[in-house]
């Protein structure tokens, strides 16, 4: 409980900082200014939705990563390992080929959500009903490769350089110019997805004994797989739908918090959600403060941080296995 309260306090502080900082500095005096002060437009229309969306997608990705690491007993697992994020990206990229229809509000997010849900369904079909965790992970790898090839094909067949630039720009992932409509669009899917993930908590704890041990305790592995894939598909898919691909949050957050929580996977779910929100908020604040002509994409910044973390994790695992 103490850790949870501390993480909530850190997230609230970062959320407040997110409202104050940016390319255009808004001093504290603006908060007590009259309602017709033009700075309130920046606060309410740009910064509040941006901070709220950072909290939402951070929580979704952080909890998804913790659940996947608990299920697979693999410290390198995150939402991308299932291929759901890649399928969501593919679904969004394909909407750029719809011409005028692709410019309608909500078309890109709808394509991303459709890709995520289709990816989850294909994953279940590839893994089979009675598959092992290894088969399940390999099915996710196959799905990831196919989705990546689809995105590459879409880029190579793009009708003009502007379409390529638009696709690449979206794939980098960012919270720039997101509105309250994006937040409300993603919210129900993320909430439902996280609820399904929380429902796997008991099964994740039992799986620490292995699949045979979990089954001896009465855990329905097939039901657990359905809940997990559906939950991650909805939560991570909705995140990709509104922000593009923001990686490494689901990988890094559980590793930072696991020494403070312990080995029980269910106990890590809520702290990872709050910690993921704090990490995305911090990353978004940093990209706004970097001295660059154009704002660095959040997905690029998270990769710059997560890549070295991933390598350090691999070296640590190698030393333990030696």
Task: Of 147-151, 163-167, 287-291, give the lowest mean pLDDT range.
Answer: 163-167
Model confidence at 89: pLDDT above 80: yes
Q: Pick from 313, 310, 319: which is nearest to 80 by CA?
A: 310
DSSP state string for 280-319: HHHHHHHHHHS--SSPPPHHHHHHHHHHHHHHHHHHHHHH
What structural domains and CATH numbers belong to the chain?
2-321 (1.10.3470.10)
Give 267's pLDDT tier (boundaries 50, 70, 90).
very high
> What number is the average pLDDT over the span 202-211?
87
Q: Check if the beta carbon of residue 59 is closer than 8 Å to that of residue 194.
A: yes
Which range in 60-64, 85-89, 127-131 is most confidently predicted, on average pLDDT? Answer: 60-64
pTM assigned to the model: 0.87
Give 321's pLDDT tier (boundaries 50, 70, 90).
low
DSSP state of 97: G
**Distance between CA atoms of residues 66 and 125, nearest Å:** 24
Q: Which residue has the tokens 């409300």?
A: 184
**Distance between CA atoms of residues 77 and 64, nearest Å:** 10
Distance spanning both ends of the chain, measured CA to CA: 37
> What number is the average pLDDT over the span 218-223?
86
Task: Of 2-16, 108-122, 176-190, 241-255, give the lowest mean pLDDT range.
Answer: 108-122
Rg (the chain; Cα; Å): 20
Q: Which two tokens stand for residue 47?
A: 């910064």
pLDDT the model gives residue 190: 92
> What number is the average pLDDT over the span 138-150?
86
How do residues 13-71 score in pLDDT, each as one tens digit? 999 888 888 776 766 666 666 566 676 777 778 888 999 999 999 999 999 999 988 88
């Amino acid at each position: 409980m103490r850790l949870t309260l501390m993480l909530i306090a850190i997230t609230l502080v970062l959320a407040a900082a997110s409202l104050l900082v940016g390319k255009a500095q808004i001093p504290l005096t603006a908060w007590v200014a009259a309602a017709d002060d033009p700075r309130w437009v920046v606060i309410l229309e740009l910064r509040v939705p941006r901070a709220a969306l950072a909290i939402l997608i951070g929580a979704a990705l952080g909890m998804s990563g913790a659940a996947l690491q608990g299920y697979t007993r693999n410290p390198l697992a995150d939402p991308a390992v299932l291929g759901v994020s890649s399928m969501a990206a593919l679904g969004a990229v394909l909407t750029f080929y719809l011409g005028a229809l692709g410019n309608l509000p909500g078309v890109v997010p709808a394509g991303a959500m459709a890709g995520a849900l289709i990816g989850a369904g294909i994953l279940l079909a590839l893994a089979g009903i009675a598959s092992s965790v290894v088969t399940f992970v390999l099915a996710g790898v196959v799905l990831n490769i196919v989705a990546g090839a689809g995105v590459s094909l879409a880029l190579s067949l793009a009708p003009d350089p502007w379409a390529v630039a638009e696709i690449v720009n979206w794939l980098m992932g960012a919270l720039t110019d997101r509105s309250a409509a994006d937040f409300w669009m993603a919210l129900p899917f993320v909430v439902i997805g996280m609820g399904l993930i929380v429902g796997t908590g008991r099964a994740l704890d039992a799986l620490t004994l292995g699949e045979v041990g979990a089954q001896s305790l009465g855990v329905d592995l097939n039901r657990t797989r359905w809940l997990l894939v559906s939950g991650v598909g909805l939560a991570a898919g909705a995140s990709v739908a509104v922000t593009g691909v923001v990686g490494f949050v689901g990988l890094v957050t559980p590793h930072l918090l696991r020494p403070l929580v312990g080995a029980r996977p269910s106990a890590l779910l809520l702290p990872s959600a709050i910690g993921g929100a704090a990490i995305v908020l911090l990353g978004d604040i940093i990209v706004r403060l970097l001295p660059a002509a154009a704002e660095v994409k959040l997905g690029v910044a998270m990769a710059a941080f997560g890549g070295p973390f991933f390598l350090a994790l691999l070296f640590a695992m190698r030393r333990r296995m030696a």
